[in-house]
Amino acid sequence: MTMANDFHGEPRDFAIVIPVPTLITRGQIHIADKALIDHLDAYSAPRLVEYFDYDPCRMYAMDRMPTAPMNAQKASREEGRARSLGVTIEARYTVGEYDILILSATQSNGLETWLRENGYTIPPGASSVLGSYIRQNMKFFVAKVNLGEREKLGYSYLRPIQVAYESPKFMLPVRLGTVNAAGPQELFVYALTRKGRVEATNYRTIKLPSDVDVPLYVRKISLLFTKRCSRNRSAKKT
């Protein structure tokens, strides 16, 4: 699962909390290249193409960076406070420019309290959503930006995070994101699978028009529009 976030704000304010069905190890976490998402976005964009039917009788010639360990005493205090709230820090990693924790919890209120105390912005009503994932025995993948590592790496944007795991349950938990939203959010999901089309089980699927035979006169309009755009770009250059 590759997650790219269009976050507006200071990097120190960025954090994600993603429920995952199993414990995630260090080797299952990677930082991806933003170009991967850009390529998928461009490839899936609506476009008009023209195909020609060739003569079937004609013959053709075959032509991770090292980081300083956390102070043991500080880590012990954090883990002690977490246990008192029913939260267990299962693992702790620094991958690229992100500090990552894998958490498990027994109490939704305790997990919400722990996240707030550790600088994560959790909106009112998050406890009930966290509780639904806790009842499913899910873990929590928590990440925020390591400002020192980000400065050393020199990236001006947040790179996508990749998490790999095996589970019989294929799901994309996004309810926490909806609770934390200031308004409507856009979510784009690209699914690469050997078994064909992927559809949501709890949302109605709306079919987009595709593979449509467009009348020939549309080609003339399209070419005319392209020429106008080309002239406008030339005018701006001069």
Name the pTM for this structure: 0.68
Q: Does a structural domain hold residue 184?
A: no
Is the pLDDT at 214 greater than 90, yes or no? Answer: no
* Euclidean distance between CA atoms 35 and 155, whole angstroms: 13
Q: Does a structural domain hold residue 95?
A: yes
Q: Does a structural domain hold residue 230?
A: no
Single-letter code of the amino acid located at 146: N
**pLDDT tens, 12-46?**
888 888 888 888 999 999 999 989 888 888 888 87
Long-range contacts, stretch 145-149, CB < 8 angstroms, 24+ apart: 145/11, 145/12, 145/14, 145/97, 145/98, 145/99, 146/67, 146/94, 146/97, 146/98, 146/99, 147/11, 147/12, 149/65, 149/67, 149/94, 149/96, 149/97, 149/98
Q: Does a structural domain hold residue 213?
A: no
Q: Does a structural domain hold residue 82?
A: yes
Query: Lowest mean pLDDT: which of 102-106, 188-192, 212-216?
Result: 212-216
Burial bucket for residue 46 (CB in 10 Å: 0-12, 13-18, 19+):
exposed
**Number of domains making up the chain:** 1
Average pLDDT over residues 127-131: 86
Residue 222: its pLDDT value, please?
A: 66
Residue 177: its pLDDT value, please?
A: 64
Range of the domain at 107: 2-179
Q: Does a structural domain hold residue 225?
A: no
